[in-house]
Amino acid sequence: MKAEQAFELTGHQNPIFSAELSQKPGLLFTGGNDKGVVEWSLTKQEFIKVMFQVPGSVYAIHCPVGLPLMFVGLRNGQVLVFNFIEQKIITTLKQHTKPIFDIKSIADKGELLIASEDGSVSVWNLKDLNLLHTIKISTDTIRSIAISPNQKQMAIGCRDNNVQVYHTDDYAPLSTLYGHTMAVFTTQYTNDGRYILSGGRDAQVKIWDTTTFELVKSIPAHLFAVNHILAHPTLPYFATASMDKSIKIWGADDFKLYKIISREKGYACHLLSINKLAWVGDQLISVSDDKRVLGWDIEF
């Protein structure tokens, strides 16, 4: 496997915490400790504009497929809803009062899921943006929501060191996955739906069976916290991003390490914690506390 830096985008004045591809090909949105959400052209590899101002840090951005909407989760617990057709913020979702760490949607149900530091996930109707349910998951922060490929299951990463697995049909609990020794920051399903991947402050990546919920493998993946795990959109690989300033690419079927992208390995990689990843085909995008957006061409 080969990796080569494709581009570097600069302009953020503060750490970047979130990165999300637009529904429109070739566009990327980023947010962080700055006072705005930024739009970038991946085709021209350049800054386009600041989409809109925000009152505080942005930890989550979500652009649901097939809808002209962007949801932006803020430190104050609010979620801004931006309409691309109207080119403005059309409403603010105000169920939570503590930071929003992840936002996902279930296309089959037309529902939006918002995870908060308050230990709950709120469920919203994507058509009318009305609140449907609030699910109390934990007494502590929820950092991540992963939806299974068949959209029947979700895995929620919690600060209490556990992964909570729920049915998406009725939001009934399925299982609690115990194994991490510190907060779980990120969860992800493999493309074949066989495994849940979880990573956390303990620098471990753990692989769980989605049928039995048993621990399949535990990998000492990084030196410091695993901030994000992201499966390749089509191939059996996944990437991990860490506070140790490195990106690693693993097999999603054999769980072997195939590539390390770091300054120690000779790459002009990030200087500080890598917080979020995005795949565009075989190109991997990373954002960091060092205020930079980097693109990596991966040859499998």
Token readout for 193 is 């739906």
Distance CA 65, CA 173 (A): 26
Put simply, whether the predicted model's pTM sits higher than 0.95 gets the answer yes
Three-class SS state of 265? helix
Domain containing 259 equals 2-299
pLDDT value for 144: 98
Distance CA 229, CA 242 (A): 9
pLDDT value for 296: 98
pLDDT value for 147: 98
Task: Name the amino acid, one letter, at 15.
Answer: P
Q: What is the DSSP letter of 263?
A: G
Read off the CATH number of the domain in which 42 is found: 2.130.10.10
Distance CA 243, CA 223 (A): 8
Distance CA 112, CA 141 (A): 19
In degrees rounded to 5, what are phi and psi of residue 264? -65, -25
Decide if 99 contacts 75 (C-beta within 8 A).
yes
pLDDT value for 127: 96
Sheet arrangement for strand 100-106: 100-106, 111-116, 120-125, 131-136
pLDDT value for 84: 97
Distance CA 40, CA 19 (A): 11
Radius of gyration of the chain measured on its C-alpha atoms: 18
Could you list the pLDDT tens digit for every one of the 300 residues in the chain?
999 999 999 999 999 999 999 999 999 999 999 989 999 999 999 999 999 999 999 999 999 999 999 999 999 999 999 999 999 999 999 999 999 999 999 999 999 999 999 999 999 999 999 999 999 999 999 999 999 999 999 999 999 999 999 999 999 999 999 999 999 999 999 999 999 999 999 999 999 999 999 999 999 999 999 999 999 999 999 999 999 999 999 999 999 999 999 999 999 999 999 999 999 999 999 999 999 999 999 999
Number of domains in the chain: 1
pLDDT digits (tens, 9 = 90+) for 82-94: 999 999 999 999 9
